[in-house]
Structure 1
Amino acid sequence: MFLEHSQLKENTTIEISGSKSISNRLLILHQLFENILIENLSNSQDTQLLQAALQSDSEIIDIHHAGTAMRFLTSYYAIQEGKTVILTGSERMKQRPIKFLVDALRDLGAEIFYLENEGFPPLKITGKKIIKSTVRIPANISSQFITSLMLIGAKLENGLQIKLEGTVTSKPYLEMTLKILRTVGINNHWEGNIIKILPNIHTEKQSQSIPFVVESDWSSASYYYSLAAISRKTIN
């Protein structure tokens, strides 16, 4: 957003929206375990699309360009017993592969079908109760595929053990997810190439809410710093 010089004020306080990466993970966890209270949620379009999808009762969920939403919702809907949805997006989204995640979920027992091209959205997903607790997935793929599985792990009756095959390329994002899970009371371990998410089916029955303040996305603050620097230079 561009501001005229007349609109700029000294000593103005600007609130920076929460991190999109953290917000999107928490939205899935909040939907699975309703006692999680999220503060400072991201105002990014991806987060808004994910939030709208989770609140929708429609049989067709269109997440447009939101890649994170597509990946996280694929696992989320796979465990919504008895619920069938068509998960789709923009033409560009239909060109983004999702085969590794779908293969992993199918191996666990999920019911997912491709409606157009094999390995790509849109997907028809019918939620099922998943009993199997061990799955293999390549370690060098997008961390969002692996994170998608991690987020539903505690909701499964027997938890989830994810065996990473190969060299992990996005370790910081996976560690961030594990930290978020621990913060909301979900136990987990990562040793060697195995990530283990322990079942936590009782979390949703707890009466006390678990507050989580989303860390601000400080990278977005750079725009305001630049604007202030340019404005001051222009005024001087």
Structure 2
Amino acid sequence: MIAFKLHKCGHPDTHKLFKITGSKSESNRWLILQSLFSDLVLNNLSNSDDTRYLKKALDSTDHILDIGHAGTAMRFGTALFASQAGKSVVITGSDRMKERPIGILVNALQSIGAQITYLNKEGYPPLEITGKKLKGGTVTLQANVSSQYITALCLIAPVLENGLEIELIGEVTSRPYIEMTLSILKKIGCDIQWDENFDDNVEKISIQPIKNVDKLSQTVESDWSSTGYWYTWVAFQNIGYKISLESFYNDSMQGDSKLQDIYKNFGVETSFEGNKLILTKTSDTIDQQLHFDLTEQPDQAQTIFVTCLGLGINVELTGLHTLKIKETDRIEAMKEVGSRFRESVITTTSDSIKLILPHNSKLLHDFVVDTYHDHRMALSFAPLCKFTDVQINDPMVVTKSYPYYYEHLKSINVSITEI
């Protein structure tokens, strides 16, 4: 196994400009729609592994499709292939993918006529799918499931004979990701209603079918999720430090654009010049006891946790229940790796993590980050090289979402050696 050592970087270059490629979340939604409506033209697609795996699966004529670690490719692809009459595939993935549940989505699809069979363990990939012309109708889901299940259903709704009604029971998790999906569907001409007060404790999304889509060229906005690592980096620097990222919009549909507000707590201000996003460290006055409910931004949990770890700030992060079924159990991974960086008490529940630091908490030596096949472990913990050498095991896991990350770090004077 290779590892990278990121050497302590006391004086990083400032005023750098980085080009972040298209949002993985947006790209993968648009690719599914492009496979249904060929008149869509897409620009600035993500260069992430997840997007490449999905595009390869959509373009393939093979019977067996291996999507590796790509969770969106598994979930979106399952719904898509189930709705394509005459399509017969086996969709599989990495060993970890075979441990990630998909039964909720499969049950929903089967309830509207899909023909899907588990080849190994009930409720988990690999899946054998025989595509059929689905009529649609009504499906019911618990609202706190992964938003990717809900999105997978929404994306095929326009080609279902009767459209689709999705009833969500309870509190909706990751609402911005669902809003992103519906916003994209509206761009291609879908008639959508989201009744947030449909019944007691029930919300209903109704999507009407469409026959075709007018020719449309869509440029995908760059990935706000990837900016989180740079927000962390800037938060660790001296007042006046700044970097710029492109291409971003002030009215983004991506939920992680909420980082603009979150990182004000860490003295980082956000501004725009055209499609350029500028992050500037403006203050060292930071509350030493923070709490964030990340129900709508769960993918930023590691980013914010590491920011607090590096700055020596007590924090409690809640709303994390979906992190248990990601590439790894992210809650426990944060606890294990975070405890290696400095003296701390880290406690967890099934949906939260709490960091408590003793007064003058000391940095520990020989800091090693195990990534557990999770790109966000490497991406989030790497900025701690501001304070000490950081060894990252299996470092190239970052290609899942941000292939050029280490090159960008090198460009601001971070020294990296392979060991």
- Tell whether the structures are fold-level matches, with TM greater than 0.5: yes
For the pair 1:51 / 2:55, whether they are aligned, the reply is yes
Label 1:17 to 1:51 Cα distance change in 2 as closer, same or farther (>3 A). same
For the pair 1:176 / 2:176, whether they are aligned, the reply is no
Are the aligned partners of 1:156 and 1:201 in contact in 2 as well (CA < 8 Å)? Answer: no
For the pair 1:120 / 2:124, whether they are aligned, the reply is yes
State the AA in 1 paired with 2:220. V
Q: Structure 1, unaligned stretches of length 5 or more?
A: 3-8
Are the aligned partners of 1:150 and 1:160 in contact in 2 as well (CA < 8 Å)? Answer: yes
For the pair 1:71 / 2:75, whether they are aligned, the reply is yes
- TM-score of the superposition, structure 1-length normalised? 0.87
Residue of structure 1 in register with 2:221 after alignment? 215
State the AA in 2 paired with 1:42. S
- TM-score of the superposition, structure 2-length normalised? 0.50
Q: Distance in 1 between matches of 2:170 and 2:224?
A: 32
Label 1:17 to 1:140 Cα distance change in 2 as closer, same or farther (>3 A). same
Q: Distance in 2 between matches of 1:105 and 1:33?
A: 21
Q: Distance in 2 between matches of 1:27 and 1:132?
A: 21
Are the aligned partners of 2:134 and 2:161 in contact in 1 as well (CA < 8 Å)? Answer: yes
Residue of structure 1 in register with 2:36 after alignment? 32
Are the aligned partners of 1:131 and 1:157 in contact in 2 as well (CA < 8 Å)? Answer: yes
Q: Distance in 2 between matches of 1:106 and 1:216?
A: 35
Q: Structure 2, unaligned stretches of length 5 or more?
A: 6-12, 197-202, 235-242, 244-382, 384-408, 415-419
State the AA in 1 paired with 2:51. T
Q: Distance in 2 between matches of 1:84 and 1:230?
A: 48
Label 1:231 to 1:51 Cα distance change in 2 as closer, same or farther (>3 A). same
For the pair 1:200 / 2:210, whether they are aligned, the reply is yes
SS of corresponding position for 2:89: strand
Q: Which has the larger strand fraction? A: 2
Residue of structure 2 in register with 1:41 after alignment? 45
State the AA in 2 paired with 1:52. K
State the AA in 2 paired with 1:36. L
Question: How far off its partner does 1:12 sit?
Answer: 7.5
Q: Distance in 2 between matches of 1:24 and 1:57?
A: 19
Q: Distance in 2 between matches of 1:19 and 1:230?
A: 23
Q: Distance in 2 between matches of 1:171 and 1:143?
A: 7
Question: How far off its partner does 1:125 sit?
Answer: 0.3
SS of corresponding position for 1:231: coil
- Superposition CA RMSD, Å: 2.5
Q: Distance in 2 between matches of 1:92 and 1:11?
A: 39
- The structure whose Rg is larger is 2
Q: In structure 1, which of residues 86, 90, 94 is the aligned counterpart of residue 90 of structure 2? A: 86
SS of corresponding position for 2:75: helix
For the pair 1:137 / 2:137, whether they are aligned, the reply is no
Moved over 6 A (4+): 9-12
Q: Distance in 2 between matches of 1:187 and 1:212?
A: 19
Residue of structure 1 in register with 2:265 after alignment? none
Label 1:40 to 1:115 Cα distance change in 2 as closer, same or farther (>3 A). same
Are the aligned partners of 2:136 and 2:157 in contact in 1 as well (CA < 8 Å)? Answer: no
Q: Which has the larger helix fraction? A: 1
For the pair 1:15 / 2:19, whether they are aligned, the reply is yes
Aligned residues between the structures: 224
Q: Distance in 2 between matches of 1:197 and 1:119?
A: 27
Question: How far off its partner does 1:14 sit?
Answer: 4.2
Seq. identity, %: 51
